[in-house]
Structure 1
Amino acid sequence: MLTLVVLISGSGSNLRAILEASSRPDTPVTVVAVGADNEADGLAHAEEFGVPFFIVDPKAFASRDEWGEELLNQIQVWNADLVVSAGFMRILPAGVVSALTPNLINTHPALLPLYPGAYAVRDALAAGATETGATVHIIDEGVDTGPVIRQTTVVVEAGDTESTLHERIKTVERDMLVATIRDIATGQISLKELS
């Protein structure tokens, strides 16, 4: 059984997909805790599924590194096999990354290495891309630069707005993230080999 800590910042749609999948027998995964950087709406999913959660708010710390140290402490309490950044909208400090990688993965709403950063969907539209997609990757010390685990393409449709395109990407992203975690749990993907 693969144990997970899932990190979120917002509505937690990826978290919910993971929690729902973990209740099915074909997904040998248990979410042992959920972490957030604010009072995120998505923490309601953790409560609904009876999963403990913690909040480490950067505003409560004098420096980014101090925040990172406390975040790492909270993650390590759970001794999880894998940490999943699922809509966690902060760049993790180097100390957190080095302590957890390669067992630290992220989803990104673009086909990396194209359109890294917080505005991937907007950037794809601004570039006139005819397709974009979603990526699951190992987090390294760069911004969306870690080894790619899996990608899925999404066609940009005429008249797409940032919102409509992002909603279609999120649907693909959720399914791909769950499939990736399942493959890690069953040994079909080795993060050590990819890193």
Structure 2
Amino acid sequence: MSKKNNKTKVDHPLLVLFNKPYDVLSQFSDNSTPPRATLADYIPLKDVYPAGRLDRDSEGLLLLTNCGQTQHQLSDPKHKAAKTYWVQVEGDITELALALLRQGVLLNDGPTLPAMAKRIAQPLLWPRQPAVRFRANIPTSWISLTISEGRNRQVRRMTAAVGFATLRLVRSQIGPWQIDQLQPGEYQVVNL
């Protein structure tokens, strides 16, 4: 039986922390043929909705709520909840590229706000399916990038603007909420 038909009704305000797997849509339905994986395949709660989005080819923390006011505060750009991403880029990231990200870069829809950017060791993550492409003669590196905007595919466009293509993108934190030990497809409910 599909989880789509077994939803649990919740009568009090809550926040759902979900580790969205790669190749899953940040919505509960899909009209494609064949249908693609959606939140309904993982979250059996009724009347919760995403507060923001995470692209299909990105992974990590997605917040959902059943409270309209909370959803508005989390997703409205005016509130600028900081979002932190672990980004695997193609190539050996330079200090100059990180400095450019920190001051903000010019994208085709205008300049970005300054970001917090630093090189990090490869985080301990689950294997991605399908695996990230690997080229023996081209190194990769990882950065932590924190932004307070939410433009379409912004992180990928920012790293490309400084000369480093994004290979893997995992959102690790939104405001005070972190992905912690949630594995792909797992969720945690927090009462508001």
| TM-score of the alignment, normalized to the shorter chain, above 0.5 | no
Name the TM-score, length of structure 1 as normaliser.
Answer: 0.29
Rg larger in structure: 2
Structure number with higher helix proportion: 1
Structure number with higher strand proportion: 2
